Amino acid sequence: MALLTNLTLNQTLLKNGTTFFSDKRTVVNDVMTWFTAFSCLATLVLNGILVTAIACRAELHTAFNLYIVNIAVTDICAGLTNMPGTILNGYHNRWPYNPLSCTILLAYGGTVFGAVNRYAHVLVTVNRFWAVTLPISYRQRHTKGVALALIAVTWIVVHVLCLPVIIRGRINVSPLDPNCWIDRSQQRFYSFVEELLCFTVPEVVIILMYAVILVKLFQREKQKHVKVTSHGMHVMVMQVPALAPESDTVKDHGSAAVAAGRSGGDRTPSSRRSKERVLAYLVIELLLCWTPNNVFYLLVASWAPFYWNTTFFAVQYFGQFLHSWVSPILCYLAMDGLRNGINRMFQRS
Quick one: which of 19, 1, 14, 8 has its CA closest to 177? 19
- Which of 246, 238, 256, 237 lies closest to 217, judged by CA? 246
Confidence at residue 302, expressed as pLDDT on a 0 to 100 scale:
58
CATH number of 36-225+271-343: 1.20.1070.10
Mean pLDDT for the stretch of residues 269-291: 93
pLDDT confidence of 25, banded at 50, 70, 90?
low
What proportion of the chain, given as a percentage, has pLDDT over 90?
Answer: 59
With a CB cutoff of 8 Å and minimum separation 6, the contacts of 100 are none
Residue 297 has what pLDDT? 80
Q: State how far the Cα of 24 lies from the Cα of 118, in Å rounded to an integer.
A: 34
Q: How many CB atoms lie within 10 A of CB 265?
A: 28
Q: Which residue has the higher pLDDT, 219 or 151?
A: 151
Q: Is the pTM of this model over 0.85?
A: no
Q: Which residues pair with residue 230 across a beta bridge?
A: 233
Q: What is the pLDDT of residues 55-103, one digit of tens each?
A: 999 999 999 999 999 999 999 999 999 999 999 998 888 899 999 999 9
In angstroms, the CA 30 to CA 20 distance is 19
Each domain of the chain, given as residue ranges in start order, spans 36-225+271-343
Mean predicted confidence (pLDDT) in 316-344 = 95
HSE on the CB side for 214, CA within 13 Å?
9
Instruction: Please tell me the predicted confidence (pLDDT) of residue 16.
Output: 30
What letter represents residue 234's amino acid?
A: H
Three-class secondary structure of residue 225 per DSSP: strand
**Euclidean distance between CA atoms 85 and 113, whole angstroms:** 13
The three-state secondary structure class of 178 is coil
